[in-house]
A and B are shown apart, each in its own frame.
Chain A
Amino acid sequence: MKIVVGMRQLADLVEELEVADSGVDIDRDFVKFVSNEWDEAALEEALLIKEQVGGEVVVVALDEPDVDQTLYSAIAKGADRAVKIVGVEEGWTPTRLRAQLLAKYLESEGDWDAFFTGVQAADDLDGQLAGLIGASLGVAHAAVVSKAEPEGPALRITQELGGGTLAESVAEGKVVLGVQAGRQAPRYAPITRIRQAMSSTTIESFEAPEVELGPGPKVRKLYPPESKGQATMLEGDPVEVAEKIVEIIRTKGLVR
């Protein structure tokens, strides 16, 4: 089975995010960019399938800050090839554009069986990637996937419907999946292996083709939510705060 995994970089949410002077994007000069965690789950699921039934895993990403590190880590974890889509304008890339570029790449790649990516990303304002790629390729797609297991040439897909209810379906033919969580947590890539990947692997380049971007939301302003500051902060050292918390639980009659 040949699985292409779409990965991307995203502003690290651990950081303070500042709004740029334009007022419609974050200040990208002062944030760290990390790999989207859901994409890592998608990669893990693809690698598990490769280990089960053989085949090939190709990772592909747009050229974004520190993306090489993400791609080499993927190689170190067991992906066979890495592709970077180059020539895209820097900044907040609409998901729709991302989808159209990846769709062009997938058309050029041709013989793939499945495309996996993360179920969502924290800035995908104009829609989630899997559905948009599925629509632009005219290929079946499913999101919030928690399991994808090979069943002969097909894939049995488990989706979470909320409240713990699971939906199972079988994909016969090409399919695009937005992965929520893999069957296991993403594996560790030892740095030695990442470094080996850096010296022995060449990241392939795919020149971004011209695409006509369809309609999207026009961002008028980006701003931090007004803090409602609802929580009453409990002051004091751990002993005092612990005392207050236990007291609160006690008044609710939940502990003697």
Chain B
Amino acid sequence: MPVGGKKQSPVVVELEEATVISKVSGREWDVSGAWNRMFQPRVLSDYSYSGGLGKVAQLDGGETLEYCYGCGKCVPVCPVDLVSEYGPRKIHRKVQTGLDLFASDELWMCTTCGNCLRVCPKGVNMIQIMPAVREVAVGDGKVPDELQGIFEKTFRYGNALGENPRRRHAWTKAAGVPVRVLGSDPTPVDVLFYVEDYWSYHPRGQQAAQAFARTMARVGVDFAILGAEEKTVGDSQRLAGEKGLFDALVEDVTSTLAKYEFNRIVTPDPHAFNALVKEYPKRGFTYDVLHYTQLLSPLIDRMNFVNPINKKVTFHDPCYLGRHNGEYDAPRKLLKAIPGLDLVEMGRCKENSYCCGGGGGGMWLDGFNSNHVSERLSERRVREAAGTGAEILAVCCPYEVSRFEDAAKSTGNEHLKVMDIAELLDEALGGSEGL
């Protein structure tokens, strides 16, 4: 792959002219390679099963790479392929012809967004293949520096930012409403608000957390947080290949949860949501889990909107809420409920939504991958959002505010404001006023 990630146009090398005249009808038949090569037996002399493909296919989770028959449907829907030479089918072919995926930079480019799996007729599952191969690479210590730092911080402090666990609930001070911490008041609660890393520590995330806490208070939700006891659920670390770290987090998270009585867990982080819904049950821990938009959307009639937002707004579907877990309506219902708000859709939305680049560890690999892409996925997405004429890009995944704000600046789209749906709701409901 060229450094700089410039796209190369395909080179056509075979198209001999060949026609045959039928002795029966006299009609001319085209027998050139243009259409009939697929009927000819081909010898793959450069194909070593034991070298690349076999090694991947033997892995728990790597089996489906073998299923690929090269149709290529995955390539045009792959968000990474649009800005680089990476594409799932290309990976299959390269591995087939000897690429050592375990040591390749391309191993770290997949964001596990899941769009290839959606269109794959053979069920080649990159969401399992990539973490499986990465797990081996991690075991051999072949981890990009940036990611290694994140793993170490997560293991040590329970959050990817390496922040002090004791400051996890520092954001509550400026929330404007009381936020109960279960450690100091362990009475049963309806909703356990699982804040996750970026809403706990990132300055823009904290604003969204405060906005969401105010909204819950306004609509009368009984909620509490774990505070210093909270650790990340760890889904992105798992997908980035640190399964051991994920296992350790599952133990810590579930033993903390076992200490308290609550009816359901609500989280703003689609990645945490995904793990709690799909991965934790595999290990014997099942909870009633909602994304925060799913908690709020049935409560719209309790919302007393005082400030209309007369703006054109477009919405970015998070991969792990939409494609991975099928929730496309809850965030849209909330946005449409806000008076004055004009929701416009981007070309790529819902099932075919474009990835922000943050999933599967991509959040922590921007520097590493920058040599291989012509622009960040977040930058491409922001340009698409700006193209709708929207003034606000609404999001509901904690990774996205910082990613898209950076991208808006770097693409010259500063006029596009990036806001979490929690912030938009809070603004429409009066913000810190009248609590």
Contact = CB atoms under 8 A, between A and B. Distances in A.
| Among A15, A187, A191, residue most surrounded by chain B Cβ atoms (within 10 Å) | A191
A30 B244 contact: no
Contacts of B81: none
Nearest to A238: B409
Contact of A190 (B138, B156, B409): B138
B245 interface: yes
Given A14-B162, A69-B156, A193 B244 contact: yes
A195 B248 CA distance: 8
B139 A193 contact: yes
Contact of A30 (B141, B152, B156, B166): B166
B62 to A, nearest CB: 17
B245 A32 contact: no
Contacts, number: 43
Contacts of B155: 69, 191, 194
A195 B243 CA distance: 11
A66 B157 CA distance: 11
A183 to B, nearest CB: 16
Interface in B228-280: 242-245, 247-248
B229 to A, nearest CB: 16
B143 A194 contact: no
Contacts of A66: 156
Q: Interface size bucket, A side?
A: 10 to 19
The size bracket of the interface on B is 20 to 34
B148 interface: yes
Contact of B245 (A34, A187, A191, A238): A191
Contact of B244 (A15, A187, A191): A191
Contacts of A190: 138-139, 141, 242, 244
B292 interface: no
A251 interface: no
A66 B156 CA distance: 9
B247 A195 contact: yes
Contact of B157 (A32, A187, A191, A193): A32
B245 to A, nearest CB: 4
Interface string A178-216: 000000000110111111000000000000000000000
Contacts of B247: 191-192, 195
The SS class assigned to the B binding surface is helix
Given A32-B157, A193-B139, A194-B155, A188 B244 contact: no
A192 B238 CA distance: 12
A191 B248 contact: yes
Contacts of B248: 191, 195
B78 to A, nearest CB: 29
B151 interface: yes
B246 to A, nearest CB: 8
Contacts of B156: 32, 34, 66, 69
Contacts of A14: 162
Contacts of B152: 188
A160 to B, nearest CB: 24
Interface string A63-74: 000100100000
Contact of A192 (B148, B162, B243): B243
Nearest to A29: B166
Nearest to A15: B164
B141 A188 contact: yes
Contacts of A15: 164
Contact of B139 (A32, A69, A187, A192): A192
Contacts of B157: 32
A66 B165 CA distance: 14
A32 B156 CA distance: 10
Contacts of A32: 156-157, 164
B162 A188 contact: no
Given A194-B244, A195-B244, A195-B248, A188 B143 contact: yes
A134 B158 CA distance: 38
A238 B141 CA distance: 36
A70 to B, nearest CB: 10
Nearest to A31: B164
Contacts of B139: 190, 192-193
A159 B152 CA distance: 30
A220 to B, nearest CB: 29
Contacts of B143: 188
A69 B152 CA distance: 11
Interface string A28-55: 0010101000000000000000000000
A32 B162 CA distance: 10
A188 B164 contact: no
Interface in B155-192: 155-157, 162, 164, 166
Given A32-B157, A192-B243, A187 B164 contact: no
Contacts of A192: 139, 243-245, 247
A238 B410 CA distance: 11
Interface in A1-31: 14-15, 30
B151 A191 contact: yes
B407 to A, nearest CB: 14
Nearest to B245: A191
A239 to B, nearest CB: 9
Contacts of A69: 155-156
A36 B408 CA distance: 40
Nearest to A30: B166
A103 B151 CA distance: 35
A51 to B, nearest CB: 13
Interface of A: 14-15, 30, 32, 34, 66, 69, 187-188, 190-195, 238
5 contacts: A30-B164, A34-B156, A69-B156, A188-B143, A191-B245
Given A15-B164, A66-B156, A193-B244, 5 more contacts: A187-B141, A190-B138, A190-B242, A194-B155, A194-B244
Q: Which 7 A-B pairs have the closest CB atoms?
A: A192-B244, A191-B244, A191-B245, A188-B141, A188-B148, A190-B139, A190-B138
